[in-house]
Structure 1
Amino acid sequence: MLWFVSMILFTLATFGLELWEGNKISTTEYYGFQNIGFVFIFLAFLFSAVLYPIIIFPFSWVVRMIANPLISHIMILLLSGIGGYVFFYKAYDERFIQEYHLNSSIAIILFGIAGSIYVLVDYYLDQRS
């Protein structure tokens, strides 16, 4: 269940970042939503489908084994924001960031919100089981 939730949240955060910051880039050199359309969303969804079993699930499983639930949820939330920061600098070239005045804090906020929703769903599912 969390895999699907993670894929949706990552895709929405990626799409939100693209709408907020990526639309500022007005060159055909960058392949964002303006240039490739819904293929961008499909690629983000596909990337998130691969990202969960390789990184997110093993990490969250290890954190749950080591720490109590509150600490593990806080760590997942913080790592979501850090992941947004890393994703921002991987998605946008340094030249684009400087030339179009892109702001990485938007990525931190959007991915942090996605992490918050993920933690809330995780908590809800944990309480139900």
Structure 2
Amino acid sequence: MSPFTKHYGAMWIVFVILVFVGVLGLEIMEGLKITTTEYYGLTNLGNTYLVIIFFLICFPSSVLYFVAVLPLSVLLRKGTFAMFFVRTNIFIVLGAAGGKLLFHKLFMDHLIKGYDLNEFTAIIIFGACGLAYSLIDTFLMKKADWVIHKSQ
């Protein structure tokens, strides 16, 4: 297996984990405010909600990884600080935009208004996930280079 495949296979797992953590964080920070039985979240479903998050949100979001995130990661892979800054900002913006879209998919409009849910929470959480993805990607690239050079 090539180092490229190993690295981006690991980054796919990181992506899925970050989406899971982001959705769980959003549910904890905003979804727990909803007290009606009309919304099935962590309060109503418990651990079953975690399985639902994985299979209905995280696993399907893998398509987004292979269509958008992976190509951007490869194209913006140069080792300069300027490219790191550009790549990090792109992933933060993509994460924030994805968080906003997911917020409106998870919570219906009347629940957002009725329970005063804040979409900015989703923007912050998923922007932080984008930052974490970029930092982990950079760390693993440098670590892999370091391991390769040290072993030769």
TM-score between the two structures when normalised by the length of structure 2: 0.77
Question: Which structure 1 residue ranges, 5 or more long, are not aligned?
Answer: none
| RMSD, aligned α-carbons | 1.6
Q: In the alignment, residue 136 of structure 2 is paired with which amino acid?
A: V
Q: 1:49 aligns with which of 35, 50, 59?
A: 59
* CA displacement at 1:50 relative to structure 2: 2.5
Contact 2:34–2:115 (8 Å) recurs in 1: yes
- For residue 94 of structure 1, the aligned residue among 105, 109, 115 is 109
> How many angstroms does 1:66 deviate by?
4.6
Pair 1:104 & 2:119 matched: yes
Q: Residue 49 of structure 1: CA displacement?
A: 2.2
What is aligned with 1:38? 47
Conserved 8 A contact 2:20-2:53: yes
Aligned residue pairs: how many? Answer: 128
Deviations 1:30-68 (A, max 9, x none): 01111111111112122212312x112321233245545
SS in 2 for 1:27: coil
Greater RCO (CA < 8 Å, at least 6 residues apart):
1
Please, which runs of 5 or more residues in structure 2 have no aligned partner?
Answer: 1-9, 145-152
SS across alignment from 2:37: coil
Map of 1:10 onto structure 2: 19
Q: Are the equivalent residues in 2 in contact too, given 1:8–1:45 (CA < 8 A)? A: no
Residue 58 of structure 1: aligned partner: 67
- Match 2:38 to one of 29, 35, 54: 29
**Percent sequence identity over matched residues?**
31
